[in-house]
Amino acid sequence: MDRIPILKFGNALLVTIQVDMHDRLATALEEDLTSRIVSNNARGVLIDISALEVVDSFIGRMLDNIAAVSRILDADTVVVGMRPAVAITLVELGLSLTGVKTALNVERGMAMIHDRLAGSEADDADDED
Amino acid sequence: MPTTKTERLGIRISDDVVRVRQLTRTFALEVGLGLVDQTKVVTAASELARNTLDYGGGGDVTAEIVEQGGRRGVRLTFEDKGPGIADIEQALKDGFTSGKGMGLGLGGAKRLCNEFSIVSEPGLGTKVTIARWK
Ligand SMILES: Nc1ncnc2c1ncn2[C@@H]1O[C@H](COP(=O)(O)OP(=O)(O)OP(=O)(O)O)[C@@H](O)[C@H]1O
Ligand SMILES: [Mg+2]
């Protein structure tokens, strides 16, 4: 079966979804990302969905799950590039994706992850005082 | 209601759900639906196709371009010969699922379309029809 490639960018993982995923592909991505967060010690996950013309409840749930699992593994997930028509449709579908952070594009998403890391490092430094 | 174009597609594996999305997009474009309306009807179709596969044990969809009073629309009919739905009102409620879903598919598909109807007979199957008008 095909798999969606996961790239490593410093301490973050980047996934660019370029195909209309069938359900098994989406489930495989969720599993792959979870194990890569651990094996790469990743602190952030960026999922670029700017090419996705449709996000239904299955893909929505996948995004929610990835965000929840990464949180437990101390990594931040940011979904970037959601199309306006997709956002409107998701809300009407009843999927608010409250647990998912979003950003307009990859640059801003990366900045969000770095901001949080900088913040938590500052906290760590405070703790040592 | 005159039908100007019809296409039928089987729904047996998860790739077929992707094909249903593509077919719906093609029909929605042909009808001239705007981008947001296209996205809505394609999303609704995706939900219903997955239900047909996961709960109905597979089935098929008939996509049509229909005309009524000078308006054009896309109509989709999902049919399966699965176990059927005993309590339709309950199935339509957001949050109700008999599986591992979120229970958003049926209610969401209804909200995303202009027309929605469901006929189901326990033991005989389920038929869901949606339409989105230009
Ligand atoms: N074609 C069908 N045949 C038999 N039962 C169905 C069919 N479609 C839906 N149902 C029943 O209706 C319930 C609600 O369906 P709905 O699509 O709203 O939610 P779901 O599929 O459980 O979750 P989600 O769509 O959010 O992933 C299903 O859990 C199932 O019990
Ligand atoms: Mg469903």
Q: What is the 3-state secondary structure (H, E, C) of B51-82?
A: HHHHCCCCEEEEEEEEEECCEEEEEEEEEECC
Residue A126: per-residue pLDDT: 62
Residue A4: per-residue pLDDT: 95
Banded pLDDT at A128 (limits 50, 70, 90): low
Banded pLDDT at A2 (limits 50, 70, 90): confident
CA B122 vs. chain centroid, Å, equals 19
Looking at this protein, which amino acid is placed at residue A33? Answer: L
Which tokens in the block code for residue B109? 């598909």
Residue B40: per-residue pLDDT: 98
Residues B45-92 have pLDDT tens digits of 999 999 999 999 999 999 999 999 999 999 999 999 999 999 999 999
The verdict on A20 touching B (C-beta cutoff 8 Å) is: yes
Domains of chain B by range and CATH? Answer: 3-133 (3.30.565.10)
Residue B60: per-residue pLDDT: 98
- 3-class secondary-structure state, position B100: coil
Q: Is the pLDDT of residue A123 over 60?
A: yes
If 0-12 CB within 10 Å is exposed, 13-18 middle and 19+ buried, where does residue B100 land? exposed
Banded pLDDT at A98 (limits 50, 70, 90): confident
Q: Is the pLDDT of residue A5 over 80?
A: yes
The verdict on A89 touching B (C-beta cutoff 8 Å) is: yes
CA distance B63 to B77: 7
Instruction: Fill in the DSSP letter of residue B23.
Output: H
Instruction: Fill in the DSSP letter of residue B94.
Output: T
Residue A28: per-residue pLDDT: 96
Residues A20-78 have pLDDT tens digits of 999 999 999 999 999 999 999 999 999 999 999 999 999 999 999 999 999 999 999 99
Domains of chain A by range and CATH? Answer: 6-128 (3.30.750.24)
Chain B closest-CA separation from residue A58 CA (Å): 8
List all residues whose CB is within 6 A of at least one atom of ligand 1.
Answer: A 57; B 47, 51-52, 55-56, 80, 82-85, 91, 96-99, 101-107, 126
The verdict on B101 touching A (C-beta cutoff 8 Å) is: yes
For the residues B28-42, what does the mean pLDDT come to?
Answer: 98
